[in-house]
Structure 1
Amino acid sequence: MKLPTHQQCLELFDTYKVPLNIKEHCLKVNKIAVFLAKKLQESGVKINLDVVDRGSLLHDLFKIAAIENPYPNKFHKRAFTPEELAMRERLRQKYPGKFENEIAYEELKEPYPKLALVLKKEGDPYNRTRNWEESIIHYVDMRTLRDDIVSLDARFAYFEEKYKRDDPFWSDYLPYCRQEEKKIFQHLSFKPEDLDKACGEA
């Protein structure tokens, strides 16, 4: 599988003018996801560590394009720069109505087709057939609010407040994420609530 190097992934944050707060979130997800992947490998689960590393790093590369209100509000305090807002507008014009995972697929499918597909599937909330690499990235993203590790309950409370819906989407989505959590932690010696501590002590 052709993959960018870790350094090349970091350079993409500059290429696409990714705001600092989004980059910090991606770096936190990357740190935790790689830690989990290594622990799962140690327990005998077959995982492509490079895919987890690159995929977790790039999972929100195009997040700014999916943000409806890019100006400071109760959910994000940072003011985006004119350069960042210009990139957002460029991406939204090129990919109208697309979410970050869909844009990642379109932008990266030529140089890195398999990684692009991982990003597309990992970030699709309707996908229920993730492989191990996609499950790890998706799960850690669900546990990471900005650059803090929180419980699934806390994360979904945030989702329900920020992305209000008239259907039971969030209440249907949470049980799936709990299943993913069980799938991962049945192979590990620590509990979900100890994830951040375990990673910090590694």
Structure 2
Amino acid sequence: MNIPTESECIRLLEEQGVADAILGHSLRVETVAQRVMDVLERRGVKVNRALVEAACLLHDILKPIDPKNHVWKGAQLIASKGYPEVAKVMSKHAIPIIPGNEPETIEEKIMLYADMRVKPGKICSLRERFDYIEKAYPQLKDELEATYEYVRKIEKELLEDEEI
């Protein structure tokens, strides 16, 4: 499995001209994921940390260029760079959740969950993040509520009752 290092991820982001705001978001998503992985590892759950960290850093690599299709196009770009496993994890962070594209592996679930815990400039609760998304995309209100419930289930699965 070929996984880029953090410095390689930063280089890939810079090559795409990713703004500081997206980089900051991605670094916060990585931080949330690291906290989740710490909880899981204390419980004896094996997680590919490097895979999750790379996916977190790269998940929005094409968001500024194509916000609507950034999930798929970003995953295609990263796969074309020789990182298909990272691309697969990245491809599972689309919201609302698309039937047939639900996260399956622990790494995919962590990446999606971590992304849903970060809004511009800060780590936040799931409810805060979904309220923010709903204000930005009011036309998705019904789909977002179902997605919120889905991600809450992932949160319970990953953290049980632990706080991060």
TM-score by length of 2: 0.89
1:144 Cα deviation after fit: 0.5
Aligned CA distance change for structure 1 residues 49 and 166 (closer, same or farther; 3 Å): closer
What does residue 152 of structure 1 align with? 126
Q: Distance in 2 between matches of 1:47 and 1:160?
A: 31
CA RMSD of aligned residues (A): 1.7
Give the aligned partner of residue 94 of structure 2.
123
Post-superposition offset of 1:166? 6.0
Write the mapping of 1:32-51 to structure 2, written as runs, cut at 5 A: 32-51=32-51
Aligned length: 160
Q: Tell me the residue number matched to 1:2.
A: 2
Local SS of the residue matching 1:65:
coil
Question: 1:47 aligns to what SS in structure 2?
Answer: coil
Contact 2:26 2:57 (8 Å CA) reproduced? yes
Moved over 6 A (4+): none
State the structure with more CA Rg.
1
Whole-angstrom CA distance in 1 between matches of 2:103 and 2:35: 22
Q: How big is the shift at 1:167?
A: 6.2
Q: What is residue 101 of structure 1 aligned with on the other side?
A: 71
SS of equivalent to 1:4: coil
Unaligned runs of 5+ in 1: 68-97, 196-202
Q: Which residue in the other structure is 1:64 paired with?
A: 64
Deviations along 1:39-93, one digit per CA (max 9) or x if unpaired, are: 31121111111111111111111111234xxxxxxxxxxxxxxxxxxxxxxxxxx
Give the stretch that moved more between structures: 118-127 or 128-137.
Answer: 118-127
Q: Give yes or no for contact 1:143–1:151 (8 Å, CA) kept in 2.
A: yes
**SS at 1:123 equivalent:** coil
1-structure distance, mates of 2:30, 2:88: 18
How many percent identity over aligned positions? 30
**Whole-Å separation in 2 of the counterparts to 1:47 and 1:169:** 30
Question: Which moves more between the two structures, 13-22 or 114-123?
Answer: 114-123
Counterparts of 1:38 and 1:100 in 2: how far apart (Å)?
A: 29
Q: 8 Å contact 2:118–2:124 — kept in the other structure?
A: yes
Instruction: Map Cα deviations across residues 5-47 of structure 1 (whole Å, 9 max, x no partner).
Output: 2110011121000011111010111122122213311211111
Structure-2 change in CA distance of 1:176 and 1:166 (3 Å): closer
Where structure 2 has 5 or more consecutive residues not aligned to the other structure, the ranges are none
Alignment equivalent of 2:112, drawn from 138, 145, 149: 138
